[in-house]
């Protein structure tokens, strides 16, 4: 299994073998550079692709034995978008999961309460969601994550167990913060890239492509075309026999402490 520990061992062995060959026969510098490049590429892969479980096992897909999927939204609450999402989900009678940014909760308390009242799951998506979040010390990350927990608890009386790292990036510092907080790291199996979509049709087709049992679909509250295609996505998924359930039910894992 490809993970951080095995990768370190393999590259250490390769480095020792290279040093031995260098001592006996001489090895060009480019070989060392290629080893370093390969190692860095694997670290990037493990950090960026949450499904790799490279540094930490995340929950990114449910059982293949049940024809069900879950819809999740990141980066809310967003005043101009989230109410419309909630209206649509209520109309379609579909539950979802909202991974909230803590700093966005103040002033949007009614939206967060409505999420809970209407049967949706709330997860932690950090308090600050800065671009450089994953480069902080683990202690700094953990404090940020707990601050988001406190905001969610202030409004809902619930403490989330689910955490989704900003941008889905996991490295040793993020891993340590997640483990310190005993969070369940929630990933996805379908990343729609709805915030970069060029058209509604493109987004809809990308969201439905290769949809399979147990998929966790990632949207964003503020995606330009997300609200416009969500009803069609739901109807198409259901037409293909998929049940749309809450992510905690899909993963058979408690969402709150």
Helices (H), the chain: 4-24, 29-48, 82-92, 109-117, 138-156, 172-180, 200-208, 226-239, 247-251
* Burial class of residue 15, CB neighbours in 10 A (0-12, 13-18, 19+): middle
Task: Answer left, alpha or beta for residue 193, where phi above 0 means left and psi between -120 and 50 means alpha.
Answer: left
Whether 220 and 164 have beta carbons less than 8 Å apart is answered as: no
Phi first, then psi: give them for residue 71, nearest 5 degrees: -105, 135
Is the alpha carbon torsion for 16, 19, 23, 28 positive or negative?
Answer: positive
Distance of CA 184 to the CA centre of its chain: 11
Return d(Cα 33, Cα 79) in angstroms, integer.
49
- Annotated active-site positions, please? 74, 220
Smallest Cα–Cα separation from 85: which of 200, 220, 186, 190? Answer: 220
Q: Is the separation of the CB atoms in 123 and 96 below 8 Å?
A: no
> Is residue 72 within 8 Å of residue 187, measured between CB atoms?
no
């Amino acid at each position: 299994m490809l993970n951080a520990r095995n990768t370190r061992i393999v590259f250490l062995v390769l480095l020792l073998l290279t040093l031995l060959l260098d001592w006996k026969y001489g090895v060009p510098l480019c070989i060392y550079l290629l080893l370093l490049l390969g190692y860095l590429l694997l670290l990037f892969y493990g950090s960026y692709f949450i499904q790799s479980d490279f540094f930490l096992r995340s929950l990114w897909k449910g059982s293949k034995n049940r024809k069900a999927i879950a819809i999740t939204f990141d980066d809310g609450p967003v005043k101009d978008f989230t109410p419309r999402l909630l209206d649509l989900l209520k109309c379609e009678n579909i539950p979802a999961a909202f991974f909230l940014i803590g700093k966005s909760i103040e002033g949007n308390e009614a939206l967060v309460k409505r999420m809970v009242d209407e049967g949706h799951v709330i997860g932690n998506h950090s308090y600050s969601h800065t671009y450089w979040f994953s480069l902080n010390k683990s202690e700094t990350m953990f404090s940020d994550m707990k601050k988001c927990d406190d905001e969610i608890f202030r409004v809902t009386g619930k403490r989330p167990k689910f955490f989704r790292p900003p941008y889905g990036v996991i490295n040793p510092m993020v891993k340590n913060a997640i483990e310190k907080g005993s969070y369940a790291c929630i990933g996805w199996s379908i990343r729609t890239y709805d915030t970069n979509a060029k058209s509604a049709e493109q987004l809809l087709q990308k969201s439905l492509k290769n949809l399979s049992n147990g998929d966790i679909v990632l949207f964003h509250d503020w995606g330009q075309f997300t609200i416009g295609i969500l009803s069609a996505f739901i109807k198409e998924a259901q037409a293909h026999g998929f049940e749309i359930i809450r992510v905690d039910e899909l993963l058979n894992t408690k969402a709150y402490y």
